[in-house]
Amino acid sequence: MKILHVDGSCGASGDMLLGALIDAGASLDVLNRTIDRLRLPGVALQARQVRSHGLGATRAIVSIPEDLQPHRHLSQILAIIEEAALDPWITQRSVAVFRRLAAAESKVHGIPIEEVHFHEIGALDTIVDIVGTVAAIAMLRPDRIHCSALNTGSGTVHCAHGRLPVPAPATAELIRGFPAYGSDIPFELLTPTGAALLTTLAEDFGPMPPMRIDCIGYGAGTHDIGRPNLLRVFIGDNIPHADTAPPDISGLETDRVGVIETQIDDMTPECLVSVMENLLAAGAIDAIIAPVQMKKGRTGFWMQVLVEPSDLGRIARSLLQETTTFGIRWQLESRIKLSREIRSTETPYGPIRMKIGWMDGKPVQISPEYEDCRLAAQHAGIPVHRIMNEARATFHLTSEFHDVERKNHDSPDRYRITDAKHL
């Protein structure tokens, strides 16, 4: 599988990403033929070799006549793209990037998306940056696009609405739910166009995956930030791990989860349990605490938290705020799991929800929901294990269980729940 990995450690903008892709092998002539189809008079793309603090890179430059910088509504921009007779893949993804960018502007300004009418969206160079970047990716033909966490920079940025803090409001909205961080570089490193492109096109975020690198491209930014202002792209084939997945996972579900880990040796178990409860309440999928022996003979605790990839930043901040740790580790991992659904069964102690796990179209795990059993046990004044045993026995004896066994796993519309990650 061919992977395109984007290194956003110096941020990202549309021209930097486009320059890096040209540097990695995308044909400038083919890109200009694509841009010509947009029918933007006098607009052309140039690529110039530059040096940024001693490192060579390609700078993408959009040539535009000074009298052709009108503001445009989203509908006008989409019409330009859709009427250009581009490859359907390029059209669809370019439109998706612009829709995402306009939705962010709409939200931060509190206006309908149809009324979004900003220079930053309507400028012709933004159209060229977005369509050109998508066309360059189509030329390089990666099977998967991967991106690092994004460096937003710091300080303030001057725009049409005055001086605003970095990241600018639209950029902040675009990276909400994605891994990003600030830095001591006092510039706007991540622009709305760069954020819209990467959060729309990249399928995974995190450290560079194992890959055999074939080529590297460097795209230069326009500001002197006191160090190389470059965006890098790496293109190559992934290196599959022998233990990543068994040969056959048909009949099962797969997804990606964020894994956060840390060790703590200066908090009491009671405090750590409270932290774990708060993380689960905040949306973590699961949390584990285990005693470990740390350096200098100290007894401590190892904590692991599973989260949705989009929640990595938010949960990491909570963990750093609520514990005494000075740092955490994180990574994205693949997960194989049973597909799940919930069915309620009537017992002498009231209804108890049962969690059913599927494999190959058959239920292989059936478990009573603990919280239902605990509350029923409290109400009846009996041990919780008796409620759990009663629920299992009742569920297996009812005709409902046999209906579940006979149900076609490929169309489980009757009982399937849409989100069982916490069950």
Give the closest residue to 87 by CA, choosing from 150, 117, 131, 42. Answer: 131
So what's the pLDDT on residue 310?
A: 84
CB 270 within 8 A of CB 219: no
* pLDDT on residue 408: 44
Structure confidence by residue, pLDDT tens digits, 231-289: 999 999 988 754 444 556 666 777 888 999 999 989 998 999 999 999 999 999 999 99
What is the rounded CA–CA span in Å between residue 298 and residue 184?
34
Distance CA 147, CA 136 (A): 16
Domains of the chain, earliest start first: 2-238 (no CATH), 253-337 (3.30.70.1380), 339-406 (3.10.20.300)
Report how many helices (DSSP H) and strands (DSSP E) the chain contains, helices first: 13, 18
As a dihedral over the C-alpha atoms of residue 119, residue 150, residue 197, residue 112, rounded to 10 degrees, the angle is -50
pLDDT tens-digit profile of 284-299?
Answer: 999 999 998 887 778 8
Catalogue the E-assigned strands of 197-328: 204-205, 211-220, 230-238, 253-264, 286-293, 299-307
DSSP, collapsed to helix, strand or coil, labels residue 59 as strand
Contacts of 315 (CB under 8 A, 6+ apart): 258, 260, 279, 282, 283, 284, 305, 307
- Report the C-alpha gap between 314 and 175 in whole angstroms: 12
What is the pTM assigned to this prediction? 0.59
Q: How many CB atoms lie within 10 A of CB 331?
A: 12
Question: How far is C-alpha 313 from the geometric centre of its chain's CA atoms?
Answer: 10
SS3 348: coil
Within 84-229, strands assigned E span 144-147, 150-151, 156-159, 162-165, 180-181, 204-205, 211-220
CA max distance for the chain:
82
Task: Return all residues near 280 (Cβ < 8 A) that are at least 6 apart.
Answer: 286, 287, 422
Which of 25-39, 127-141, 323-337 has the lowest average pLDDT? 323-337
For residue 369, give the nearest of 348, 393, 345 by alpha carbon: 345
Choose between 123 and 312: higher pLDDT: 312
| Residue 155 neighbours by CB distance under 10 Å | 14
- The amino acid occupying position 232 is R
On average, the pLDDT of the chain sits at 86
Label residues 296-307 b or e (16+ Cβ within 10 Å = b). Answer: eeeebbebebbb
Rounded Cα–Cα distance for residues 80 and 35 (Å): 11
CB 62 within 8 A of CB 125: yes
Position 215 scores a pLDDT of: 95
- SS3 label, residue 262: strand
Q: Which of 62-71, 183-192, 323-332, 378-387 is least confident?
A: 62-71
402 pLDDT band, cuts 50/70/90, is low
Mean pLDDT computed over 114-141 = 82
Amino acid at 130: I
Q: How far is CA 198 from CA 109, 226, 307, 378, in A?
A: 22, 25, 21, 51
200's enclosing H/E stretch is helix 192-201
CB 218 within 8 A of CB 20: yes
pLDDT at 98 over 90: yes
- CA angle (300, 305, 306) in 5-degree steps: 155
Question: Which stretch of DSSP H or E encloses residue 343?
Answer: strand 339-347
96 confidence band (pLDDT: 50, 70, 90): very high
How much of the chain is helix, strand and coil, in % rounded to 5? Answer: 35, 30, 35
